[in-house]
Amino acid sequence: MSADGLVVADLSVTYGGHRAVDGLSLTAPPGRVTGLIGPNGAGKTSSFNAITGLVRQSGGAISLDGADLLPLSPAARARHGLGRTFQRMELLEELTVEENIAIAREASLAGGRPWRHLVGRRHDRSTIRHDVEEALAVCAVTELAIRQVASLSTGQRRLVELARVVAGGFRILLLDEPSSGLDANETQRFGTILEQLVAGRGVGILLVEHDMSLVMRISSYIHVIDFGKPIFEGSPAAVMASDIVRAAYLGSEAVEVA
């Protein structure tokens, strides 16, 4: 089996006569944060939706560790190891933190066998409990386990959302604006947790994010798109130094690169 992680080649997505993504190619390997940045409307979320199977691509190839994902449903892509968060958090507010994480883990275990939701095996219950506890610890929200999600701050909810996808045991995580709504201290903490997740578990992350300080700090490699088209790729330092990127997106913004 290939260990390349997520490989996207010449991806295109068309809505009616509008091409939202036009020839995107990227690799998001395990053990690395890969950034995907660009202005609003550049095609970042459309790329995520095509990669995860929520919309149909009009061209290109998508594979995960050598396995072709194009024929697979979103659920089957998840079972192959592809996890995803969304700009708008998808949490069950009336449930506790640990219940939210447990439901997500249970769904990933059931996969294409929905009867396992109804007839839980002892081994499954033990696995779910272990993975929930581990995800709580990794995302530093153990003390929130019995809190109802509705009572949490935005920063805490973002960490719970991350814990849900961590509990799924995915190999590659697609994180869509995960720091949205966080203040500077919360964003710093969130970035540290992502770095620890990559270093400790070898997870690969494809990160869509507008907070350039966070992107430049934790990404090893960055792809830049504008109007659906790739316009630049390289290290954080190369991206910051690019006149093309500055003209299309960053402007005169100065961001310190670690």
Distance CA 187, CA 155 (A): 8
Contact 226, 248 (CB under 8 A): yes
Paired tokens of 103: 């439901």
| pLDDT for position 1 | 43
Distance CA 120, CA 239 (A): 49
Looking at the domain that runs over 1-81+172-186+202-258, which CATH code has it been given? 3.40.50.300
Map residue 205 onto helix, strand or coil.
Answer: strand
| pLDDT for position 168 | 87
Which sign, positive or negative, has the C-alpha torsion 101, 32, 74, 68? Answer: negative
| pLDDT for position 122 | 54
Paired tokens of 105: 């883990």
| pLDDT for position 211 | 93
In the 8-state DSSP scheme, what is residue 71? T
Task: Kindly list the distances between the CA atom of residue 123 and the CA atoms of 109, 118, 119, 208, 227, in Å, as whole numbers in the listed order.
Answer: 11, 14, 12, 36, 48
| pLDDT for position 83 | 92
Q: What is the tens place of the pLDDT at every residue in 118-156?
A: 445 555 678 888 899 999 999 999 999 999 999 999 889
CA dihedral 221, 186, 176, 83 (to 10 degrees): 90
| pLDDT for position 249 | 86
| pLDDT for position 31 | 96
| pLDDT for position 117 | 47
Q: What angle do CA 200, 139, 126 make, to 5 degrees?
A: 85
Question: Among 245, 185, 177, which residue's Cα sits nearest to residue 211?
Answer: 177
Token look-up 């979320």 returns 45
Helix locations, 111-183, DSSP H: 115-118, 122-138, 154-167
| pLDDT for position 125 | 78
Bridge partners (DSSP) listed for residue 21: 13
Which sign, positive or negative, has the C-alpha torsion 116, 119, 121, 124? Answer: positive
Q: Where are the domains of the chain?
A: 1-81+172-186+202-258, 90-169
The radius of gyration computed from the CA coordinates of the chain, to the nearest angstrom, equals: 18
| pLDDT for position 118 | 44
pLDDT tens series, the chain, 258 aa: 456 899 999 999 998 888 999 999 999 999 999 999 999 999 999 999 999 999 999 999 999 999 999 999 998 999 899 999 887 777 899 999 999 999 888 876 655 455 444 445 555 678 888 899 999 999 999 999 999 999 999 889 999 999 999 998 899 999 999 988 888 998 999 999 999 999 999 999 999 999 999 999 999 999 999 999 999 999 999 999 999 999 988 775 555 555
